[in-house]
Amino acid sequence: MSTRLATGGRLLNKDKAVRFTFNGQQMRGFEGDTLASALLANDQMLVGRSFKYHRPRGIVAAGPEEPNALVNLGVEGKFEPNQRATTTELFEGLLATSQNHWPSLEFDVGAINAKLSRFMPAGFYYKMFIHPRPLWKHVYEPFIRQAAGLGQAPKGRDQDTYEHFHAFCDVLVVGGGIAGLIAARSAAKTGARVLLIEQTAHWGGRAPVDGGDVDGKPVDNVVDELVSELEAMPNVTMRTRLMGAGVYDHGYVLGYERLNDHAPETDGPRHRLWRIRAGHVVTATGAIERPLSFAGNDIPGVMLASAVRDYVVNYGVSSGDRTVIVTNNDDAYRTASALKFAGLDVPAILDARVLPVDSPLIAEAKAAGIRVLMGHGVSKVLGGKRVTGVAVCSQAGEGAVLEEIACDAVAMSGGWSPVVHLWSHCGGKLLWDNDFAMFRPDVDKAPTGAEGSAFVSPVGSANGHFGLAELVGDAHAMGHAAARATGHKPGKVSAPDASSVEEAAMAPVWLMPQGAGAALRGKAWLDYQNDVKVSDVQLAAQEGFESVEHAKRYTTLGMATDQGKLSNINGLAILSDALNQPIPQTGTTTFRPPYTPISMGAIAGEARGTVFQPIRRTPMHEWHDKNGADWEPVGHWRRPYAYVRNGETVHDAVMRETRNVRENLGLLDASTLGKLVVKGPDAGKFLDMLYTNMMSTLKPGKCRYGLMCGENGFLIDDGVVARIDDDTFLCHTTTGGAERIHGHMEEWLQTEWWDMQVYVANVTEQYAQVAVVGPNARKALEALGGMDVSAEALGFMEWADGTLGGFDVRAYRISFSGELSYEIAVHASKGQAFWDALMAVGADLGVMPYGTEALHILRAEKGFIMIGDETDGTVIPQDLGLHWALSKKKEDYLGKRAQERPHMIDPERWKLVGLETLDGSDLPDGAYAVAEGTNDNGQRNMQGRVTSSYHSPNLNKGIAMGLVLHGPDRMGEVIDFPGTDGTTYRARIVSPVFYDPDGEKQNV
């Protein structure tokens, strides 16, 4: 039985009871409990089922290393699976359910897997589900999917909010235990800006539980004093519930702050991701105790010795009335003392070591009347869903049972491993320490930063210093060193004084007993969460998975949500033993961030809902929205695809708008087109290099359509260039192309032709631009009144400044539809007013706004190309029959040399043509035309593809453009386009200009 003790519990507020529910059962804990301590207090030993064999599992640890106690928390929009009970602070009304069982935790059908475990060794899934192949899709995969995963995926939308915070400091100290506190103080006293973060809600770490004196005072008092001292320093920021999740290049550290997981009704974000940039990082991340590998070490009630101690001291919870301790080191004796002090029984300490003399801790245990069996270990643990006893054996033997000791908990300790995760994330190297059988940071091989110098220092037990005296001295010195690394000078401050209890050397014990036979090894668990046993790792080695990374993936050791915090070293040792090589030669697997799982919400931060992405709006956005706009994303811009009226489908609206432009008058919001002012004595020369056309010969007042290619020859943009005066041009780019083309111009100006006198400014958003298009376009502008827009005053491809309806405007007489067309630019702040004025005067002229799809149809009817439809980054102007836009007079322009490469002048390149189906139906966009024969992969040969396809309401048939092999030479030929629907579309190759080929409509 685990239960709440009448005394103890330094972290509890026993005046405040907290009610919570586990698997539907009402339970009670206290403020200050974790869910794990509260469950133990309610004798809830069994908390989950293991992943593969569905074995009953209980709480093992008291911190973030917990592999078993993973629960579903909350409901609906607050639901979250796989939450560690040991790091979940209890709050009123907490709802938790256990995972990975059916129908119930107590009776789980899946537990049959445990009976079959002999037949499901490492690699079982790989071996079993590969043959016969056809079974994979409909039998194996659905079965495995059903079995996969521990918790349930949330179904509801997350109700909580999250955010980021950018923090800067000289010295970041990760970990608020005694080492972190002392290092932070040493660094802070130099005047350095210090940020100290601690993952739990409490300062001090293990020190108050483990005890000892610093400067002659009990360590828990010292912790309180240090906290007060640091809090009073203006250059120190201290945060609890903030975990150092990952260390990255150049001192970048991610911190994961859990703001109201413990108080879900509070206002504000649930988690905050700290994006910290530190001059130097001190990792005071402590150490984690290792389990021992003996048969039945996963039965609920078998726990880490330090955890048993934590639960007694911190939470006043006993894991059992009678606890057998099994260890290979002195530290576990502290658990015996703590249990005795709490009035609990320790029937025996099984110590695998054989020591010549008793160390002080052993002597103390013996003096307290505890039976200490040196050279002994656990043959196997007795019990099913909870521990009922242990069978004792000699560590040296094969597990012959010497006696059985009844108990209800087992506290095990296999030694300690420094938490080297954060040290290792960014390249810190490790050393194997033979004395403590552990990897610790190799401080001479630290991660290096922007300056090439070390930027991480490990301190305290994270640096392999376990005695209080060594730990305190190390922390003090490293705090100074960290400050010095950021340019701060430590004064002469001496380290705090502490003494360590002398401890006997630990003895590495990787298997208990050392000669355990197959039956015992098959029940000795390494990785609790992923159900990996000693025998699995041995099998992996035997089957040739000798690299630690291969063995890890084959067995899944260390691949669960705890990432092997308890299992890695033990697994490594077993693997090394199987390979008959020393542990350092086997090496470790890679430590990757985050240290423990962090929420996806924290990573996304504010970027959800309305601010998921930066939607760009034109000045007329709201009007469009109110007038039926069906939105189309174009880059981050939103443009109306069509304005849908009541009773219309989107297609109906597109057809109506397209017809109306040709028959009456259409308005298009063209504000999104990029507008770049290019000015300077060399502007003409510069644009001649950027465009394939000649721009320097353009006369002020005139416009010219231009093509832009990259240096690799491929088309990147197009648009109309207007010459404003001798020195100044205004270049239009495609929607969404403004920033890219602006950058392209700046790149060439700054990095290649820096002697050219040219300035570029992006004025895209200074203007709202409206295309006024259709036979009535001129009438509409004349109705507004102001400037002369007659054919004589403002000819095709000319521009002029003036006023219209009282607005200052710049009018461009350009057409992307083949109709009489003007594009009118006004200042953005007057865009809506101008649009309103146009709608008003257009009322009698059949005005309708039209969207991007009508725009596309209109341009396709005229055979105008669209960047992104006819081009895809592999198309050159020559492919599109745009030779007329390639200046022959210019020696050079970007892309010219590339367009001379053999592949570019290959006559086999597909070329632009028009396509129309024989029956007038619409060709599927993107369809490929097939040719005779097959390629080397047995697929039909291709001879072309559709680049744009629309239904033209003006021509009353489907029209399309495409790139076709020898296309322009094959006019009239019919080619086949198999559709994805099984039918084949037959289309005739025609001219891409379907409508008004002589351009009579735009030149009026």
Partner 1 sequence: MLILTCPNCGQTGEETEFHAGGEAHLKRFGPGSSDGDFEEYLFMRENPKGVHFERWRHVYGCGKWFHAARCTTTLEVFGTYSAQVTEPPKEICDKISKKRPDWSWRAFS
Partner 2 sequence: MSNAVSALNGVTWAQGIATVTEVPLQGMITLRGQLTDAKVKKAAMSATSLEMPGHGQANCVDDRGICWMSPDELLVLCPYDAVSTNLKQMQGVLGDVHSLCVNVSDARAVFDLSGDNAREVLAKLVPVDLAPDQFTVGMFRRTRMAQVPAAFWLHDNDSFRIICFRSQAQYVFDLLTVASQRGSAVDVF
Alpha carbon distance 706, 721 (integer Å): 7
Q: According to the binding rule CB under 8 A, does residue 217 interact with partner 1?
A: no
Alpha carbon distance 168, 694 (integer Å): 52
Q: Where are the beta strands (DSSP E) in 750-883?
A: 759-762, 767-773, 799-804, 807-812, 821-827, 847-849
Give least dist CB 749 to partner 1, A: 9
3-class DSSP state for residue 90? coil
Alpha carbon distance 283, 306 (integer Å): 21
Q: Phi and psi (nearest 5°) for 460?
A: 65, -140
Written as one string, the DSSP assignment of 857-881 is: HHHHHTT---TTTT-SSS--GGGGT
Give least dist CB 186 to partner 2, A: 21
Q: Which is nearer to partner 2, 26 or 610 (CB)?
A: 610
Q: According to the binding rule CB under 8 A, does residue 614 interact with partner 1?
A: no
Q: Could you tell me which residues are beta bridge partners of residue 177?
A: 204
Out of 450, 889, 907, 982, the only residue in the binding site for partner 1 (CB under 8 A) is 450
Alpha carbon distance 816, 308 (integer Å): 78
Q: Quickly tell me which residue has 């990095």 as its tokens.
A: 751
Q: Quickly tell me which residue has 């111009």 as its tokens.
A: 745
Q: Which is nearer to partner 2, 679 or 970 (CB)?
A: 679
Alpha carbon distance 232, 122 (integer Å): 55
Q: According to the binding rule CB under 8 A, does residue 677 interact with partner 1?
A: no
Q: Could you tell me which residues are beta bridge partners of residue 989?
A: 915
Q: According to the binding rule CB under 8 A, does residue 246 interact with partner 2?
A: no
Out of 619, 774, 914, 962, the only residue in the binding site for partner 2 (CB under 8 A) is 619
Out of 17, 518, 607, 1004, the only residue in the binding site for partner 2 (CB under 8 A) is 607
Out of 360, 743, 873, 997, the only residue in the binding site for partner 1 (CB under 8 A) is 743
Contact region for partner 1 (CB under 8 A) — 444-452, 511-519, 567-575, 908-916?
444-452
Q: Which is nearer to partner 2, 169 or 511 (CB)?
A: 169
Give least dist CB 329 to partner 2, A: 41
**For partner 2, what does the binding mask look like between residues 127 and 166, x meaning CB under 8 A?**
----------------------------------x-xxxx
Q: What is the CA radius of gyration of the chain?
A: 38
Q: According to the binding rule CB under 8 A, does residue 752 interact with partner 1?
A: yes
Q: Are 816 and 855 in contact (CB under 8 A)?
A: yes
Q: According to the binding rule CB under 8 A, does residue 507 interact with partner 2?
A: no
Out of 901, 903, 919, 934, the only residue in the binding site for partner 1 (CB under 8 A) is 901
- Which residues make Cβ contacts (< 8 Å) with residue 488, sequence separation at least 6? 170, 187, 190, 191, 192
**Hey, what are 805's tokens?**
């309806």
Binder of residue 237, out of partner 2, partner 1, none (CB less than 5 to 8 A by kind) = partner 2
Q: At what angle do helices 360-367 and 332-341 cross, to 10 degrees?
A: 30
Which sign, positive or negative, has the C-alpha torsion 413, 419, 424, 428?
negative
Out of 26, 146, 267, 884, the only residue in the binding site for partner 2 (CB under 8 A) is 267
Alpha carbon distance 100, 114 (integer Å): 14
Q: According to the binding rule CB under 8 A, does residue 754 interact with partner 1?
A: yes
CA 747 to chain centre: 31
Q: At what angle do helices 534-542 and 548-555 cross, to 10 degrees?
A: 120
Site for partner 2 in 165-194 (CB under 8 A): 165-168, 193
Out of 616, 656, 813, 1001, the only residue in the binding site for partner 2 (CB under 8 A) is 616
Out of 267, 435, 792, 892, the only residue in the binding site for partner 1 (CB under 8 A) is 892
Q: How many residues bind partner 2 (CB under 8 A)?
A: 51
**For partner 1, what does the binding mask look like between residues 248 and 277, x meaning CB under 8 A?**
xxxxx------------------------x
Q: Which is nearer to partner 1, 604 or 931 (CB)?
A: 604
* Closest to 458 (Cα-Cα) out of 487, 436, 437, 428: 428
Binder of residue 754, out of partner 1, partner 2, none (CB less than 5 to 8 A by kind) = partner 1
Out of 231, 622, 711, 844, the only residue in the binding site for partner 1 (CB under 8 A) is 711
Out of 7, 26, 146, 610, the only residue in the binding site for partner 2 (CB under 8 A) is 610
Write the single-letter amino acid at 355: L
Out of 23, 237, 514, 696, the only residue in the binding site for partner 2 (CB under 8 A) is 237
Alpha carbon distance 65, 31 (integer Å): 23
Q: According to the binding rule CB under 8 A, does residue 606 interact with partner 1?
A: no
Q: According to the binding rule CB under 8 A, does residue 746 interact with partner 1?
A: yes
Alpha carbon distance 69, 50 (integer Å): 10
SS3 sequence of 135-156: HHHHHHHHHHHHHCCCCCCCCC
**Hey, what are 169's tokens?**
């400091």
Contact region for partner 2 (CB under 8 A) — 178-186, 821-829, 844-852, 951-959?
821-829
Q: According to the binding rule CB under 8 A, does residue 3 interact with partner 2?
A: no
Give least dist CB 256 to partner 2, A: 14
Alpha carbon distance 169, 297 (integer Å): 44
Alpha carbon distance 553, 540 (integer Å): 10
Give least dist CB 276 to partner 2, A: 11
Binder of residue 795, out of partner 2, partner 1, none (CB less than 5 to 8 A by kind) = none
Q: Are 819 and 855 in contact (CB under 8 A)?
A: no
Q: Which residues bind partner 2 (CB under 8 A)?
A: 161, 163-168, 193, 237, 266-269, 272, 275, 277, 605-607, 610-611, 613-619, 637, 677, 679-681, 757, 759-767, 806-807, 827-830, 832-833
Q: Which residues bind partner 1 (CB under 8 A)?
A: 248-252, 277, 448-452, 711-712, 743, 746-747, 750-752, 754, 891-892, 896-898, 900-901
